[in-house]
Amino acid sequence: MPVLVLTSARFGDHTPPPGHPERPERQHVMDAVAARWRELGGLVAEPSPAPRDALLRVHSGRFLETLESAAGRAVMLDPDTFTSAESWAITQLAAGAAMGAVDAVLEGRTTRAAALVRPPGHHSSRDLARGFCLINNAAVAAARALDSGLARVAIVDFDVHHGNGTQEIFEADPRVLYVSTHQWPFYPGTGRADDVGTGAGRGFTVNVPMERGATDADYDLVFDEIVVPVASRFKPELVIVSAGFDAHEEDPIGAMRMSAGGFARLTGRLCAVADNCASGRIVLVTEGGYNLRALAASLAACLGALDGRDEREAAPAAAADDARRGRLAAQQARAVQAAFWRGL
Ligand SMILES: [Zn+2]
């Protein structure tokens, strides 16, 4: 079945102050990638805004009121996070795109879908907008899947930052596995390997902090040794990918050395998990990625991977790379997670 892409030129109407890295031009890139996708015969559709009850599944009423009261105005929500006049409408539309992607795969209209959205979401918690994020799009998507009757949903987050908001929202919920690879130490300062979730959710938060400078080979190793084995044992009925591309070597914020093909390869591995456990169902939701050229190449490569093609982009990582950072990160994660995931 063809991959469905949900995006809207309206995402370009969320305009933080000039010079902010999470800028409208990022949407112009996503629009171009979506247009190319359509030319190649792919499906592209316009999303609908998420209804309030869907947002209330992961955010407090007070949080939504704060965002709503900023409608029509430019407001600073935290030192990194701003609204413009259209932001309230746009963030509801972004969450609606993530939700619409879930609906499409659960209704069997496709098995693989991608929501190309901004603003990103994974730093936003139940009560706080942070780190360029307003509504937590991936969390809304996961909650939608649970409400539609799924018993287990995996969120895999390869953005260069830890998705502290997503972790907080689901840390006590054993129905949602949250797995994050992220640069460490780095913003937002959370996501230590020994953060494993709370209460009934213990073991369903898997953090893999990685030293700056990690390459495709490091990420490949961490996915092969930790992310894929844990996700496979969890047996998700849907895989959601928090797809940030700020671990790309050209990104101005992250200090990792990933390539577009590297992201495609990670996406391919997650498609395999979805094929083995989730009847193929996988939904990609964009997060960060601040070099426009790298964002364009990475997104196109990941759509190719979702579509099960573009072998060239997904070529193996350089053989000479000894993946030292990946081995170290996998070792640390294994030391903590082996208690929850036997035989890891
Ligand atoms: Zn990020």
Position 320 confidence tier, pLDDT thresholds 50, 70, 90 = confident
What is the mean predicted confidence (pLDDT) over 200-213?
Answer: 98
What is the mean predicted confidence (pLDDT) over 130-157?
Answer: 98
What is the mean predicted confidence (pLDDT) over 178-183?
Answer: 99
Centre of ligand 1 to C-alpha 241, Å, is 13
Write down the pLDDT at residue 317: 65
Centre of ligand 1 to C-alpha 210, Å, is 14
Write down the pLDDT at residue 321: 84
Centre of ligand 1 to C-alpha 245, Å, is 7
Question: How does pLDDT run across 73-103, given as a tens digit for each residue?
Answer: 999 999 999 999 999 999 999 999 999 999 9
Between residues 311 and 289, the one the model is more confident about: 289
To the nearest whole number, what is the mean pLDDT of the chain?
96
Q: Is the pLDDT of residue 201 over 60?
A: yes
Q: Is the pLDDT of residue 318 over 90?
A: no
Position 314 confidence tier, pLDDT thresholds 50, 70, 90 = low
Question: How does pLDDT run across 14-67, given as a tens digit for each residue?
Answer: 999 999 999 999 999 999 999 999 999 999 999 999 999 999 999 999 999 999
Encode the chain in three state secondary structure: CCCEEECCHHHHHCCCCCCCCCCCHHHHHHHHHHHHHHHCCCEEECCCCCCHHHHHCCCCHHHHHHHHHCCCCCCEEECCEECCCCHHHHHHHHHHHHHHHHHHHHCCCCCEEEECCCCCCCCCCCCCCCCCCCCCHHHHHHHHHHHCCCCCEEEEECCCCCCHHHHHHHCCCCCEEEEEEEECCCCCCCCCCCCCCCHHHCCCEEEEEECCCCEHHHHHHHHHHHHHHHHHHHCCCEEEEEECCCCECCCCCCCCEECHHHHHHHHHHHHHHHHHHCCCCEEEEECCCCCHHHHHHHHHHHHHHHCCCCCCCCCCCCCCCCCHHHHHHHHHHHHHHCCCCCCC
Note the pTM of the prediction, 2 decimals.
0.98
Q: Which residues of 179-217 are buried (b: 16+ CB within 10 A; e: fewer)?
A: bbbbbbebbeebbebebbbeeebebbbbbbbbbeebbbb
- R_g of the chain computed on alpha carbons: 18
Question: How does pLDDT run across 224-273, given as a tens digit for each residue?
Answer: 999 999 999 999 999 999 999 999 999 999 999 999 999 999 999 999 99
Write down the pLDDT at residue 309: 74
Q: Which residues are catalytic?
A: 123
Q: Could you tell me the residue ranges of all domains in the chain?
A: 4-337
Write down the pLDDT at residue 310: 56
CATH architecture of 4-337: 3-Layer(aba) Sandwich (3.40)
Position 301 confidence tier, pLDDT thresholds 50, 70, 90 = very high
Centre of ligand 1 to C-alpha 39, Å, is 29
Q: Is the pLDDT of residue 172 over 90?
A: yes
Q: Is the pLDDT of residue 327 over 90?
A: yes
Centre of ligand 1 to C-alpha 108, Å, is 31
